[in-house]
Protein backbone atom coordinates (compact mmCIF):
# COMPACT_ATOMS: atom_id res chain seq x y z
CA UNK A 1 0.00 0.00 0.00
CA UNK A 2 2.88 2.39 0.74
CA UNK A 3 4.34 1.71 -2.69
CA UNK A 4 0.99 2.55 -4.34
CA UNK A 5 0.86 5.87 -2.48
CA UNK A 6 4.46 6.62 -3.41
CA UNK A 7 3.86 5.81 -7.10
CA UNK A 8 0.68 7.92 -7.05
CA UNK A 9 2.58 10.85 -5.52
CA UNK A 10 5.32 10.55 -8.15
CA UNK A 11 2.74 10.45 -10.96
CA UNK A 12 0.87 13.44 -9.55
CA UNK A 13 4.09 15.40 -9.18
CA UNK A 14 5.07 14.53 -12.77
CA UNK A 15 1.68 15.66 -14.06
CA UNK A 16 1.92 18.86 -12.01
CA UNK A 17 5.39 19.56 -13.44
CA UNK A 18 4.20 19.05 -17.02
CA UNK A 19 1.09 21.20 -16.55
CA UNK A 20 3.11 23.96 -14.85
CA UNK A 21 5.63 24.01 -17.69
CA UNK A 22 2.83 24.25 -20.27
CA UNK A 23 1.15 27.08 -18.34
CA UNK A 24 4.45 28.97 -18.19
CA UNK A 25 4.99 28.45 -21.93
CA UNK A 26 1.49 29.74 -22.72
CA UNK A 27 1.99 32.75 -20.45
CA UNK A 28 5.22 33.63 -22.27
CA UNK A 29 3.39 33.37 -25.60
CA UNK A 30 0.62 35.63 -24.28
CA UNK A 31 3.11 38.27 -23.17
CA UNK A 32 4.93 38.05 -26.48
CA UNK A 33 1.68 38.53 -28.40
CA UNK A 34 0.73 41.52 -26.24
CA UNK A 35 4.13 43.12 -26.89
CA UNK A 36 3.77 42.48 -30.62
CA UNK A 37 0.31 44.04 -30.59
CA UNK A 38 1.64 47.12 -28.79
CA UNK A 39 4.47 47.41 -31.32
CA UNK A 40 2.01 47.18 -34.21
CA UNK A 41 -0.20 49.85 -32.65
CA UNK A 42 2.84 52.08 -32.16
CA UNK A 43 3.91 51.53 -35.78
CA UNK A 44 0.39 52.44 -36.93
CA UNK A 45 0.43 55.62 -34.81
CA UNK A 46 3.88 56.53 -36.10
CA UNK A 47 2.77 55.95 -39.68
CA UNK A 48 -0.33 58.09 -39.16
CA UNK A 49 1.82 60.86 -37.65
CA UNK A 50 4.24 60.70 -40.58
CA UNK A 51 1.37 60.78 -43.06
CA UNK A 52 -0.06 63.86 -41.36
CA UNK A 53 3.38 65.49 -41.46
CA UNK A 54 3.77 64.59 -45.11
CA UNK A 55 0.33 65.98 -45.87
CA UNK A 56 1.21 69.22 -44.08
CA UNK A 57 4.52 69.51 -45.96
CA UNK A 58 2.73 68.84 -49.26
CA UNK A 59 0.12 71.50 -48.56
CA UNK A 60 2.74 74.08 -47.52
CA UNK A 61 5.19 73.40 -50.35
CA UNK A 62 2.67 72.31 -53.03
CA UNK A 63 4.99 69.34 -53.71
CA UNK A 64 3.60 65.84 -53.60
CA UNK A 65 6.40 63.29 -53.23
CA UNK A 66 6.37 60.00 -55.10
CA UNK A 67 5.84 57.41 -52.35
CA UNK A 68 7.18 54.62 -54.58
CA UNK A 69 10.67 56.13 -54.59
CA UNK A 70 12.58 56.01 -51.31
CA UNK A 71 14.83 58.90 -52.21
CA UNK A 72 17.68 60.01 -50.02
CA UNK A 73 17.75 63.57 -48.80
CA UNK A 74 21.13 64.88 -47.62
CA UNK A 75 22.44 61.32 -47.62
CA UNK A 76 19.86 60.14 -45.07
CA UNK A 77 16.67 58.25 -45.57
CA UNK A 78 13.83 60.22 -44.12
CA UNK A 79 11.87 58.71 -41.25
CA UNK A 80 8.81 58.07 -43.39
CA UNK A 81 10.69 55.71 -45.68
CA UNK A 82 12.10 53.80 -42.71
CA UNK A 83 8.64 53.60 -41.19
CA UNK A 84 7.04 52.39 -44.41
CA UNK A 85 9.72 49.72 -44.83
CA UNK A 86 9.24 48.60 -41.20
CA UNK A 87 5.48 48.45 -41.64
CA UNK A 88 5.82 46.37 -44.81
CA UNK A 89 8.12 43.94 -43.00
CA UNK A 90 5.70 43.64 -40.06
CA UNK A 91 2.71 43.00 -42.35
CA UNK A 92 4.66 40.29 -44.20
CA UNK A 93 5.17 38.43 -40.90
CA UNK A 94 1.50 38.57 -39.80
Q: What is the pLDDT along the chain (94 residues), one digit of tens a residue?
A: 899 999 999 999 999 999 999 999 999 999 999 999 999 999 999 989 988 888 887 777 766 666 555 554 444 445 656 666 666 666 666 5
Which pLDDT score is estimated for 89?
A: 67
| CA 32 to chain centroid | 8
The phi and psi torsions of 68 (rounded to 5 degrees) equal -80, -15
Q: At what angle do helices 79-92 and 2-61 cross, to 10 degrees?
A: 140
- Domain coordinates in residue numbering, the chain: 2-92
* Residue 1, pLDDT score: 82
Amino acid sequence: ETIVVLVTDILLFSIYTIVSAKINELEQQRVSLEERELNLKKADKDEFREQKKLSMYASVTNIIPNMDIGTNISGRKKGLWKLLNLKQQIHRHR
